[in-house]
Amino acid sequence: MEDNIELLSCALEGGCSAKIPPDLLEKTLVPILKLKTDSNLLSDVDIGDDAGVYKISEDSAIIFTTDFFPPVVADPYLFGQIAACNSISDIYAMGGEPKLALNITMFPKEDSLNILANILKGGQDKATEAGVLVVGGHTITDATIKYGMAVIGFANPNQITTNSNAKDGDIIILTKPLGTGCCLAAMRNGFIKENDIEDVFEAMKTLNKKACKIMNKYNISFYKNIIEAIIGEYDDPSNQRQFVLKVNLNNNGNTIIFGSDGNDREMCLDSIIYSTTTRHSTKEINYYIIDYGSEALRKFSNFPHIGDMVFANEEEKLNNLMKMIKDIIKERKKLFISYSGNYNTYIRESKEELPLIGVIIKINCNYISTSFINTL
C-alpha cells in the first residue's frame, strides 16, 4: 500500500461543506426528536448552539460536543490537527475548558494504516496542546476518510456563553479571519493551490484556547444574567414534536397568570420559581413573595433565593416589604440612569453583578385567582 495517497481525492466534499443542509436535517429530525424538560439542561438542540450543556452542581456544568468531517488538506498530520482543533474549539466557544475526548474515525481498509496513524497523531498532538486526554474512540471501515472527536469539557453554569442569546446591537468579536470555506472551495476547484493559503491552514489548526480565556476574563457571556423560566411544554402537532416553553424574565417585566387556585396556576408558579432557582445563583435572581392565596408557595420559604415572604394577616410585614421594594426601585433607577435606564444594559456594560428581582403577588378574588410577577 502507498503511504502518499492524496487525501483530497478520497472526499467529494470537505470540512463543514460536507454537512447535511440544516433545513433538510431539521425536516428529518423534527418528527422523531422529542426532548424531555429538565431544568438543568442549559443548552440543547432547540437553540442550535455549538454544544450541549448540562448543569451538574451550583458551580459546575458539563459541556459535550462532537464533530468530524472528510479531509480538507492533503497532508494526513495537518488534517488530524485541523479536525481535532475544530472539535475541541466547540467547548471553548461555550466558555468551557475541554478535558476528555474520543476519536471518531472512518478509514478504507485497503489503504495504508500509516496514513491513519499520522491523522491520529495530528489529533493527539492538538489534544495534548489543549490539555485534553484522548481516552479511546471508535473506528469503522468506509470508502471515504473521515476524522473528528467527541469532546467533553466543564464550565461554571453561570458563565456559559451561547450565540443563541445574542441580540441586536451586540458587538461581534472575530477570533479568526472569515472566508475559510471560500478558500477551501477555491482550492478544491483548482482556482488556487494549497501553498497559496497556508495562513488559512495555520488559522484552522489554531485552538481558541487563548480567545476563550480573554472572553471569560472580560465576562463576555450572552447566557449570564439571561433569566429564563421553564413553565412546561407545548405541542407542535404538524411536526409531531414538543417544545420546551420558556419565559424570558429579563424582557417580560410584568406577567399575569390567571387560573383556579391549586391547579394550573400553582403548577406554573412552581415551575417558574423552581426552574430559575435551580438554573441560576442568588447573585443572578432573588424573589420576594406575597401569598394571599392558599399559602402553597410557603414550600419555597427556605430557598436561598427568597428574600422575604408575606402571607395574609401579616400587614406590618407587608408594609415593610413594600417599603423595601420601593427603596430598591429608587436605588436602581439612580444606578441605571447612565445605562439607558435598563437592567440588561447595566449588566452588559458595567460588568457588575446585580441580581434580577422578582416580585410575586398571589391573590384570590372571588372566582378568579391571579398572580403577578414583576421583575426589577
pLDDT top residue among 1 and 149 = 149
pLDDT top residue among 258 and 374 = 258
Taking a C-beta distance cutoff of 8 angstroms, is the pair 90, 50 a contact?
yes
Position 366 scores a pLDDT of: 43
Q: Which of 10, 16, 85, 183 is catalytic?
A: 16
Position 51 scores a pLDDT of: 84
Identity of the residue numbered 326: K
Position 100 scores a pLDDT of: 97
pLDDT band at 137 (very low <50, low <70, confident <90, very high): very high
> Among 135, 125, 153, which residue's Cα sits nearest to residue 61?
153
Residue with cell 471553548: 92
pLDDT top residue among 122 and 369 = 122
Mean pLDDT value across residues 346-364: 80
pLDDT greater than 50 at residue 4: no
Which of the residue ranges 127-131, 226-230, 294-298 would you say has the lowest mean pLDDT? 226-230
Q: Which domains does the chain have, with CATH numbers?
A: 7-217 (3.30.1330.10), 228-375 (3.40.50.300)
0.85 cut: is pTM over it? no
Q: Give the CA count within 13 Å in the CB-facing half-sphere of 363.
A: 7
User: Where would I find the H helices in the chain?
Assistant: 22-29, 76-93, 113-130, 180-188, 198-204, 209-217, 264-279, 315-336, 343-350
Position 368 scores a pLDDT of: 42
Burial class (CB in 10 A: 0-12, 13-18, 19+), 179: exposed
Mean pLDDT value across residues 290-312: 88
Question: What does the DSSP 8-state code read for residue 72?
Answer: S
Q: Which helix (H) or strand (E) holds 276?
A: helix 264-279
The per-residue pLDDT for range 265-292, each reduced to its tens digit, is: 777 888 888 888 877 788 888 999 988 8
> Among 277, 264, 243, 208, which residue's Cα sits nearest to residue 50?
208
Residue 16 bears catalytic tag = yes
pLDDT top residue among 202 and 43 = 202
Q: What percent of the chain has pLDDT over 90?
A: 26
Position 121 scores a pLDDT of: 97
Highest mean pLDDT among 35-44, 99-108, 167-176, 228-237: 99-108
User: Which triple of cell numbers denotes residue 204?
Assistant: 484552522
User: Which triple of cell numbers denotes residue 271?
Assistant: 415551575
Mean pLDDT taken over the chain: 79
pLDDT top residue among 269 and 105 = 105
pLDDT greater than 50 at residue 80: yes
Mean pLDDT value across residues 226-250: 67
Position 129 scores a pLDDT of: 96
The per-residue pLDDT for range 183-215, each reduced to its tens digit, is: 888 887 888 888 888 888 899 999 999 888 888
CA 134, distance to chain mean position in Å, is 24
Backbone angles phi, psi at 25, to 5 degrees: -65, -45
Position 223 scores a pLDDT of: 43
pLDDT top residue among 28 and 108 = 108
pLDDT greater than 60 at residue 246: yes
